[in-house]
């Protein structure tokens, strides 16, 4: 009976939990927090948000995503990762987060997007797929790097979506300021690299001044904590938004803040905006 449950993935997870018990506890807490949120209700809220906030036809975009051949390709690719012969890391954005990013980019139609934390390209490919459907826009990604035996960073990025993409390998602490200085103003920033409070906060503080007024600040893992001590603290994304008077909404584990009220570059925030 146990044999049926102990497939290759579960054995890997079990070994990991024994090697890193704290991480296993943090994962369990995150799972428990997310289990209290209905992904389907949040999906419907997101679809309504896209219509209200961007004047987009949210239901039509959701339908488009369901029919998009890229989605099917991606799901097959996700399943094939389990058969990968070399080492690979877990951490690819889940179904909800991938769809949400696609819908957000389709509705907001950003021209210049920056994201951190690519891993094998799960969330980046969804941003790229949406830019492709928009017919405009570029994505600039930063990723720390990988073991050479792992899947490549573009494992989840089909060849026909790569022309809108630049990937910088390096630590975002070093690469993000340089990239943002080169780009000047950006329309959207998405964080999915190191989810410690300090690093998330640093990335938001660094990217926010470059967002155009009304640009989007997005973050994965807004219910997670990187250490046991951080479990007792508010996640860095809502904390940043509150501090800067950024209006934000959360959909499952994704946070979306709007720089509405920003007047120009710099931390010029309309503090009368109600956070949350
Ligand atoms: C949660 S995974 C990203 C998942 C990815 N967005 C997806 O949907 O498949 C986090 C990634 O961030 C990268 N990372 C961690 N710290 C980083 C840093 N300081 N700068 C850039 N990338 C970093 C890791 O190497 C890892 O690939």
pLDDT for res 263: 53
Closest to 142 (Cα-Cα) out of 164, 115, 123: 115
- Please, which residues have CB within 8 angstroms of residue 246's CB and are 6 or more apart in sequence? 208, 217, 240, 257, 258, 259, 269, 273, 275
213, 224, 203: which is closest to 247 by C-alpha?
A: 213
Neighbours of 32 (CB within 10 A): 10
pLDDT along the chain (276 residues), means of 10: 63 83 89 91 97 97 98 97 93 97 98 98 98 98 97 98 98 98 98 97 98 96 93 94 95 93 44 30
- Order of strands across the sheet that contains 112-116: 165-169, 138-143, 112-116, 186-191, 211-220, 254-258, 247-251
Residue 91 alpha carbon to ligand 1 centre in Å: 8
pLDDT at 14: 83
Q: pLDDT tens, 10-52?
A: 887 788 888 888 989 889 988 999 999 899 999 999 999 999 9
Radius of gyration of the chain (CA): 18
pLDDT of residue 163: 98
Structure confidence at residue 272 (pLDDT): 29
CA 9 / ligand 1 centre spacing (Å): 20
Mean pLDDT score across all residues of the chain? 91
Query: What span, in angstroms and rounded, lies between the C-alpha atoms of 46 and 41?
Result: 9
Question: Where along the chain do its domains lie?
Answer: 1-36, 39-258
Q: Could you tell me the distance, in angstroms and rounded to a whole number, from the CA of residue 117 to the centre of ligand 1?
A: 3
In the CATH hierarchy, which fold is given to the domain comprising 39-258?
A: Rossmann fold (3.40.50)
Q: How far apart are CA 192 and CA 227, in angstroms?
A: 17
Substitution candidate for ligand 1 out of 93, 97, 143 with most atoms within 8 A of CB: 143
State the pLDDT at residue 16. Answer: 83
């Amino acid at each position: 009976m146990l044999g049926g449950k102990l497939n290759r993935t579960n054995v890997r997870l079990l070994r990991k939990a024994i090697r890193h018990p704290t991480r296993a506890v943090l994962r369990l807490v995150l799972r428990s927090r997310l289990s209290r949120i209905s992904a389907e209700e949040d999906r419907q809220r997101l679809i309504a948000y896209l219509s209200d906030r961007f004047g987009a036809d949210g239901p039509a975009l959701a339908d488009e995503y369901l029919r998009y051949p890229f989605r099917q390709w991606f799901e097959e690719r996700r399943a094939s990762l389990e058969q990968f012969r070399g080492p690979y890391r877990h951490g690819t954005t889940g179904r909800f987060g991938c769809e949400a990013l696609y819908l957000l980019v389709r509705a907001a139609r950003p021209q210049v997007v920056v994201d951190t934390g690519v891993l094998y390209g799960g969330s980046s490919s969804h941003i790229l797929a949406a830019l492709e459907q928009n017919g405009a826009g570029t994505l600039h990604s930063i990723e720390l790097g990988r073991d050479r035996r792992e899947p490549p960073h573009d494992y989840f990025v089909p060849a026909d979506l790569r022309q809108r993409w630049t990937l910088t390998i390096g630590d975002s602490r070093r690469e993000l300021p340089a990239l943002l200085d080169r780009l000047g103003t950006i329309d959207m920033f998405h964080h999915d690299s190191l989810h410690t409070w300090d690093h998330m906060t640093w990335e938001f503080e660094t990217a926010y001044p470059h967002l155009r007024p009304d640009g989007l600040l997005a973050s994965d893992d807004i219910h997670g904590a990187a250490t046991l001590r951080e479990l007792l603290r508010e996640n860095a994304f809502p904390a940043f938004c509150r501090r800067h008077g950024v209006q934000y909404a959360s959909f499952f584990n994704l946070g979306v803040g709007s720089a509405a009220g920003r007047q120009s570059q710099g931390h010029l925030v309309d503090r009368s905006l109600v956070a949350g």
